[in-house]
Amino acid sequence: MVSVPYDLLLMLQRRGAISFDKTDKQAVYVRQLGDVRIQASRQDIIHQYILNSLQPSDRKCLQNLSSPSYRTRCGSRFLTLGGMKRRKRCRTNPGVDGQSLVDDFYTSSTSCLLDRTSDWSFDVFQLNHSSNGRPLLHVVLKLFQQHNLMDHFNLDIVKLMKFANLVEEGYHQNPYHNVIHAADVTQAMHCYITQEKIARHLSPLETMIALVAAITHDLDHPGVNQAFLIATSNHLASLYKNNSVLENHHWRSAVGVLLESGLFDHLPMAVRNNIIKQMKSLILATDMTRQQEFYTRLKVCLSVCLLLPCHFL
């Protein structure tokens, strides 16, 4: 909490004064220091005082965040670039009295497509068409049920649907980094973790973390790369100190969606902290500028596996 000096408060308590300023022969200016003007001045002065008391880096971040060129126009919970188009939420087979039922989401064609989620040739574009523009929601519900995560972790289906809806809202209408891409990566992650040599070493918790990370790995992607954000002094670049800017933002956005949906609120605190930690590791690993680093670490791991019993072989 920032304390305001006493003399500043006294100055803000002026009431009712009227002054006349004759600056030239053509005009007379009247300034009334009434309650309305004082109220606005009080807020401006206190805001400027607080702004001046911040560190230079924090002040720059707040100024960029409040700038009209960076302020999001959609008024959502996400703060990337202003003016980005977000996907419109599509209605899917409303049930009785306009309420959507879980069973109503699976039309015959959609159900047939979802039965092939374990195939590498899975057509996510056909699913997007069949599901009326909601491929991610259908993939999430299908895979969480297929991996028995609902029963194992006692998850609430309503909270899971709320989580999926919030994630869908967080993806922009980008040419590539959109909700279809998120569904595609999630389905690909499912194919990876169901491989025999990998699946037998994964716990149910690790399986769920891998799926959630895939679902949210590009959440609120602005459609530009890190170099653009840094070059344009975007507030995200300042916030994350030009280090894995997008990936850090995707992870933070994913944590916010999880907290808002309450999907894991019933789990012990230690488990929730572990989920957030492992999600960070997975999502930050999608930084393309660090791929050579990860590739080198993988080669070292494989070379060690040739000498020692390998974890996956």
The contacts of residue 190 (CB under 8 Å, 6+ apart) are 117, 118, 143, 146, 211
Cβ within 8 Å of residue 67, ≥6 positions away: none
* CA pair distance 75, 262, nearest whole angstrom: 22
Which residues does 12 contact at the CB level (< 8 Å), separation at least 6? 38, 41, 42, 45
Catalytic residue status for 152 = no
d(CA 282, CA 248): 11
Single out the catalytic residue among 177, 181, 235, 249: 177
Question: How many Å apart are CA 15 and CA 41, to the nearest integer?
Answer: 12
Q: If you ran DSSP here, which 8-state letter would residue 102 be given?
A: G
Q: Are 165 and 137 in contact (CB under 8 A)?
A: yes
User: Which residues are designated catalytic?
Assistant: 177
